[in-house]
Chains A and B, each alone.
Chain A
Amino acid sequence: GAGVSQSPSNKVTEKGKDVELRCDPISGHTALYWYRQSLGQGLEFLIYFQGNSAPDKSGLPSDRFSAERTGGSVSTLTIQRTQQEDSAVYLCASSLVGGGDYGYTFGSGTRLTVV
């Protein structure tokens, strides 16, 4: 597609429920990233996929968080047993390749609210 597409744009869930967030990167971009942004805060790295390599999960805050990327394209971020502190905007980005030599294109994000 022309840009990075994320869905849903907003998600309200009850504490303890599981949620799935979807990201469809720009076609041809081999690198895909998930970041989290709490209200008024900076961008917190969560996970990074590069092609078919094993993902870099070093930013995931707990084992309740997981992500997969199917066929080198669409990615799904899953949060199990959601907690109130998980409330944030979850941003997906893609770049031509990883390594910092190419700019990131961000999606519009999913605003997650845990009540």
Chain B
Amino acid sequence: QQPVQSPQAVILREGEDAVINCSSSKALYSVHWYRQKHGEAPVFLMILLKGGEQKGHEKISASFNEKKQQSSLYLTASQLSYSGTYFCGTPGAGNMLTFGGGTRLMVKP
């Protein structure tokens, strides 16, 4: 089943913070995060493998709560380059990722 992302879209001013959530109806053992800029391929940001573990990429970090079956992506002091669509991905019934519907982030000057 597809993980659910929220919000679907967010608009920020440069320097503001944002949180993107990803939740699943089934048990998770890992969560992936990707960013896709307009007209480009998705780019891998990070993977979280352990419960409660936080990882970071630039000023972007994420947490993973196994018990709550959810992950959150934190964008701190956002930059114009953070604009794009963010996808979380979770392992499906097979060994491939099932992706959420995406969160469109727009950072304005």
Q: Which residue numbers of A lie inside 8 Å of B, CB to CB?
A: 31, 33, 35, 41-43, 45, 48, 50, 56, 58-59, 91, 98-109
Contact = CB atoms under 8 A, between A and B. Distances in A.
Interface in B20-44: 29-30, 32, 34, 40-44
Nearest to A91: B41
Contacts of A109: 41
B42 A101 contact: no
Contacts of B90: 100
A99 B32 contact: no
B30 A100 contact: yes
Given A43-B87, A91-B41, A104 B94 contact: no
Interface residues of B, number: 28
Contacts of A108: 40-41
Interface of B: 2, 29-30, 32, 34, 40-44, 46-47, 49, 87, 89-102
B38 to A, nearest CB: 10
Where chain A touches its partner, the secondary structure class is loop
Contacts of A102: 47
Contacts of B44: 103-105
A32 B3 CA distance: 22
A15 to B, nearest CB: 25
A104 B88 CA distance: 12
